[in-house]
Structure 1
Amino acid sequence: MDFPGLDRFDSAILTVLSEDGRISIADLARRIGLSKSPTQARLRRLEAEGYITGYRALIDPIRLGLDLVAFVEVRLQDTREAALAEFNAAVAKVGEIEQVHMIAGNFDYLMKVRTRSMSDYRRVLAEKVSTLPHVASTSTYVAMQAVKEGGPLEKVG
């Protein structure tokens, strides 16, 4: 699959790495059909240009006892740029919040919060989420099951 602005080799590198970030350069080169040196040069360039922002291990949160996932709609009292920046900076410091997205719609942000239990979630909501700057109200939706989460890169469109 090809991505806009990238040739087929660069696109292939990104696709393979999204499936297996620990693949060796030799195996990556074989998978994309180039020799090791040009593959390594392309990989370094993709990192330097910001296409690849880092590498990390995917940890199973259920094995760690973090069974409860809640999605939280957040409405702010103030949506001017300074208030948004203050909220964004504060929300980044809350460990239980896995993801935060600014939304165009009937609320301002959608958060994914992960905790061990409903009582832990209630504490996080009361002591952390509700005390974030400019929060006017929240609505919570508890997930019963994850059907799909963060798969490998796929071409969209």
Structure 2
Amino acid sequence: MDLKDRQILRTLQRNGRMTNQDLAAEVNLSPSPCLRRVKLLEQSGALKGYSAEVDAQAYGLPVTVFVSISLTNHSEKVVKNFEQLISRVDQVLECFIMTGTSDYLLRVVVTDLADYERFVRNHLQPIEGIGSIDSSFVYGVVKKTAVFPLF
């Protein structure tokens, strides 16, 4: 991947709905080579798809919670079970495997505190092998972007 490919990806991260003509102008290419590069980026898997950024509050999910999970042990059975079950929960937007004091970090969206309690009781507590659940509620956002830095 070269600098021009990164420019294309970065521009599409800002606006995935732009036309190829506009994209080509933005990255200083003619339309045909630009489209060819986009197709190659799609085929290689570097460009995974296109989506809409939706405001969570307007959607009705104004509460974001980061949930740190520690497992009681790291046997293959416990890890696979946790990962399979958590991947099916719609409220979990992201699940990261972590180093440090916790094993996983989840980004969860819910309607309110009562909804979060239901989420914990119905989706987390029943999972065997969870040793601790630590919740941090977001009360403001300083920066949020999906646009990678250009290097």
TM range (shorter): over 0.9
Aligned residues of 2:6 and 2:150 also touching (Cα < 8 A): no
Structure 2 spans left out of the alignment, 5+ residues: none
Moved more, 89-98 or 128-137: 128-137
How far the C-alpha of 1:133 sits from its partner, in A, is 4.0
Q: 1:44-83 CA distances to partner (integer Å, 9 max, x unpaired)?
A: 1001111111111111110122111111110112213443
Query: 1:37, CA displacement in angstroms?
Result: 1.1
Task: Give distance in 2, aligned partners of 1:155 and 1:39.
Answer: 18
Normalized per residue, the structure richer in helix is: 2
Match of 2:117 among 111, 122, 130: 122
String of CA shifts for 1:86-113, please: whole Å, max 9, x gaps: 2212111000111111110111011111
Partner of residue 73, structure 2: 78
Which ranges of 4 or more aligned residues in structure 1 deviate by more than 3 Å?
A: none
Give the number of equivalent residue pairs: 151
CA RMSD of aligned residues (A): 1.4
| 1:92-141 deviation line (CA, Å, top 9, x unaligned) | 10001111111101110111111010000001011102223421220111
Note closer, same or farther for the CA distance 1:80–1:150 as it changes in structure 2 (3 Å cut): farther
1:90 touches 1:133 (CA, 8 Å); kept in 2? Answer: no
Aligned AA (2:56): P
What's the TM-score once normalised by structure 1's chain length? 0.89
Equivalent in the alignment of 2:25: 30
Counterpart Cα distance in 2 of 1:133 and 1:36: 54
User: 1:46: which partner in 2?
Assistant: 41
Q: 2:51 aligns with which of 52, 56, 70?
A: 56
